[in-house]
Structure 1
Amino acid sequence: MLHSLSVAWFTVRCMANFVLVPGAWLGAWAWDDVAGVLRDEGHDVYPVTLSGLAERRGQDAGQLQHVEDIVAVIEENDLREVVLAGHSYAGVPVGQAAGRIGDRLRRVVYVDSNIPTHGKSFVDGWSEEGQAWVRDQLEQSGGYWPPLTAEDYVGQDLSDESVALILERGTPHPGRSITEPAQLTRPIGELPTTYIKCLMDGATPSSSVAEQLTSPSWELVELNTGHWPMFSQPAALAKTLTEVNA
């Protein structure tokens, strides 16, 4: 009887609500393979399409609206034990949303992503040349950040089919979301956090991530794949998500 109760407790404790937020140019569809693995293991999964992207293209899409998008999914579904994961750009709104959902949060997971800094935007840490380049892109594209080209995905552990899918389904990213400053309600270093570094996109985390990793609340996990692990290694990424949640 005691053994049965222990197994039941362990099962309940390990089940989670995974809220998965894709990076620039992508919609909830980018998480399809990862979500399938997690659901097969009994978890509930809520992939998010941020305003202005994919099927929500044309909607108002500042970066703070993206924070609201994430919080709304969690609150409207009354989710608890939330593992909130953000890929690439999405780490910026995810880190802010995590601080707003209180005890609903179990863990934040940054998937090879940027992280938010209060008062700074996604592009504020870029070089002067990089910021000038993105401003020029936004100006030429009517306020949108154009999707990457096939050449940008070379060396990232992606199959030809995955690259073709990303190119086909990716949409221009709303420029205001990458230039609007973050507004943290709680320091991200206080939150239980896993940072997943994809080694084919650089062997070490950025200096801002390295600084946060000194917090006892943060841990680093490495994946030997490229910057888009939901396409290149979905099973490995899903396994990592479940392991950090255990």
Structure 2
Amino acid sequence: MDTGAEAAFVLVPEAHTGDWVWDRVAAVLRRAGTRVLCATLSKGNSSDLETDIAEVIRQVDAAGERVVVVGHGYGLLPALGAADRRQDRVVRVVHLDAAGLPEDGDTALDVLPALPRPANGATEVPPPTREEWQRMGSTEGLTHAVLDKLAARALPQPAATLTQPLRLSERAARIPRTGILCPADGSTIDRLRWMASLGAPRLSLLTAPGNTFLEVPTGHWPMLSEPDLLAKALRQAAAGEGESLALPADHVPDHLQPFAVEVPERPRERGEHVDLYLPDDQRPRPAVLFVHGGPLPAGIRPTPRDWPTFIGYGAIAAQLGAVGVTLDHSLHAPDDLARAAEDVSAAVDLLRAHPRVDGDRVALWFFSGGSPMAAPWLSAPPPWLRCLAANYPLLEPIPGHGTDGDRFRPAAAVRGAGDLPVVLTRVGLEDPVLDATVERFLVAAEECGAEVEVVAAPHCRHGFETVDHTDEARLVIREAMRRVLGHLGA
């Protein structure tokens, strides 16, 4: 029986903001006859996460016997803390565009990498400037006037609210949840369904019975950009509506489906984190390093170098006379890019030193969310790097995913590419957020005269190597490989 439809709402705001951000949504809900209370989180230097949890508990107690608690961004942590301690009243928790899944012992900084970090010894974090709000999350849909208001009314955030661990009981996982996702901020139901299919224990909550997901087509601030749509989604969430991510017992995830091209099995030279597929020719041969996407949860099995896509590409490279190299890198969260980039550099050093590799003829081939790591190689290509390739890439960091500056921004780094050939496989059925980064990259490349060869795949999807068993997919795989190996002289 649905118990959420008649519940009151307690709305908990994002960091640096206040209850005023909910004004328009609360007005819509109240006109529909719904009871709404808004938490006013403390901004005093002595405040911490427990202070905010206590405030949300106070609002829950005042709201009535049946309450839906809505946490936006950082606000999800105090929302969960309060719901756990008032499970007799809280019938559902709504995760509103909150990227992480907080567990017992997590801090806000553990699960929300976009939040600004406090300086050493600081008791508060200054609010973002008008130009910095994009880093916390997409500002798509906000007018200049609304963005000005957001910046003008923002307050410093007490550092302890971000660094104090959240404490949850074991029963907290049984509280029904609804995720309201904002696609312009990089979150979609399809993407979450794929993440859930990876099987990581931390993501098991996504598929738990009773948990649902909805989308509001806007950026990180739906209460300011789409208040009517958000109010509708909140009422749907309270009624238990939305899509389930539950997977059938015999489900085979997309990334573990067979490779689109039939390739004879080849032996691998297995290393701790790197595999080499060696050609029959015993002389030193050029090499292609395939860099998988991410972020991927730590501990998933099989790891990417044992996925059919990378086994397939490694085997094709070896079959055609090059050394195919795959690796597992440590891009487990958006702010792991620097560490994962070190893994890629270490793999490059290893393969170039291998006696079966011609270290002066190497290509780097990036995939999906691993593509930001192409930026340092684009900005200053070494002479041995003969080609850089990317499949369905993310070529600018998604707003709100914790990556700042140009170090991992290929769309900015391409200015330094010089005459380095770039082979870019662009799928036609791409997530619009990702494809927009490809378009900006191509515009930047054209402006600076960079050499970019686009392999068009108009009817293919992201991850087409295992999700599209079509003639087009097979043709695209072979064409991209032909071009990359051509630049290596293989």
TM-score, normalization: structure 2? 0.43
In 2, distance between residues paired with 1:78 and 1:117?
A: 25
Is there any run of 5+ residues in structure 2 with no aligned partner, and where?
240-490
Counterpart residue type for residue 28 of structure 1:
D
In 2, distance between residues paired with 1:126 and 1:35?
A: 25
Counterpart residue type for residue 146 of structure 2:
S
Deviations, residues 130-186 of structure 1 (Å, cap 9, x unaligned) = 89x7143x65xx421221222233652211111011111110111100000010024
Which among 105, 125, 129 is matched to residue 145 of structure 1? 125
Counterpart for residue 70 of structure 1? 56
Does 1:31 pair with 2:22?
Answer: yes
Which among 66, 81, 85 is matched to residue 70 of structure 2? 85
Counterpart for residue 94 of structure 1? 79
Aligned-residue offset at 1:60 = 3.3
Counterpart residue type for residue 176 of structure 1:
A
Is there any run of 5+ residues in structure 1 with no aligned partner, and where?
1-9, 53-57
Deviations, residues 9-58 of structure 1 (Å, cap 9, x unaligned) = x9x98332110000101111110000000000001110111112xxxxx3
Counterpart for residue 134 of structure 1? 117
**Are the aligned partners of 2:4 and 2:68 in contact in 1 as well (CA < 8 Å)?**
no
Which among 35, 43, 52 is matched to residue 44 of structure 1? 35
Does 1:169 pair with 2:153?
Answer: yes
Counterpart for residue 233 of structure 2? 240
Deviations, residues 94-117 of structure 1 (Å, cap 9, x unaligned) = 112111112211211010114421
In 1, distance between residues paired with 2:67 and 2:112?
A: 31
Does 1:105 pair with 2:90?
Answer: yes
**Are the aligned partners of 2:184 and 2:220 in contact in 1 as well (CA < 8 Å)?**
yes
**Are the aligned partners of 2:48 and 2:160 in contact in 1 as well (CA < 8 Å)?**
yes
In 1, distance between residues paired with 2:109 and 2:168?
A: 17
Counterpart for residue 8 of structure 2? 17
In structure 2, relative to structure 1, the CA distance for the partners of 1:28 and 1:104 (3 Å cut) is: same
In structure 2, relative to structure 1, the CA distance for the partners of 1:99 and 1:13 (3 Å cut) is: closer
In structure 2, relative to structure 1, the CA distance for the partners of 1:172 and 1:215 (3 Å cut) is: same
Counterpart for residue 4 of structure 1? none
In 2, distance between residues paired with 1:187 and 1:217?
A: 15
Bigger-Rg structure (1/2):
2
Counterpart for residue 200 of structure 1? 184
Which among 102, 106, 126 is matched to residue 120 of structure 1? 106
Counterpart for residue 3 of structure 1? none
**Are the aligned partners of 1:92 and 1:115 in contact in 2 as well (CA < 8 Å)?**
no
In structure 2, relative to structure 1, the CA distance for the partners of 1:104 and 1:125 (3 Å cut) is: closer
**Are the aligned partners of 1:63 and 1:93 in contact in 2 as well (CA < 8 Å)?**
yes
Aligned-residue offset at 1:210 = 4.3
**Are the aligned partners of 2:69 and 2:83 in contact in 1 as well (CA < 8 Å)?**
yes
In 2, distance between residues paired with 1:144 and 1:14?
A: 39
Query: When you count helix as a share of all residues, which structure comes out higher?
Result: 1
In 2, distance between residues paired with 1:70 and 1:214?
A: 27
Q: Which has the higher contact order (CA 8 A, sep 6+)?
A: 1
In structure 2, relative to structure 1, the CA distance for the partners of 1:239 and 1:125 (3 Å cut) is: closer
Which among 164, 170, 189 is matched to residue 173 of structure 2? 189
In 2, distance between residues paired with 1:99 and 1:34?
A: 25
**Are the aligned partners of 1:197 and 1:220 in contact in 2 as well (CA < 8 Å)?**
yes
**Are the aligned partners of 1:99 and 1:186 in contact in 2 as well (CA < 8 Å)?**
no
Choose 226-235 or 153-162, whichever is displaced more.
153-162
Counterpart residue type for residue 29 of structure 1:
W
TM-score, normalization: structure 1? 0.82
**Are the aligned partners of 1:21 and 1:48 in contact in 2 as well (CA < 8 Å)?**
yes
Aligned-residue offset at 1:188 = 3.7
Task: List structure 1 segments (4+ residues) > 6 angstroms apart after TM superposition.
Answer: 206-209
Counterpart residue type for residue 94 of structure 1:
A
**Are the aligned partners of 1:189 and 1:218 in contact in 2 as well (CA < 8 Å)?**
no
Counterpart residue type for residue 85 of structure 2:
R
SS of 2:68's equivalent in the other structure is strand
CA RMSD of aligned residues (A): 2.6
Instruction: Give % identity.
Output: 33
Counterpart for residue 298 of structure 2? none
Counterpart residue type for residue 77 of structure 2:
V
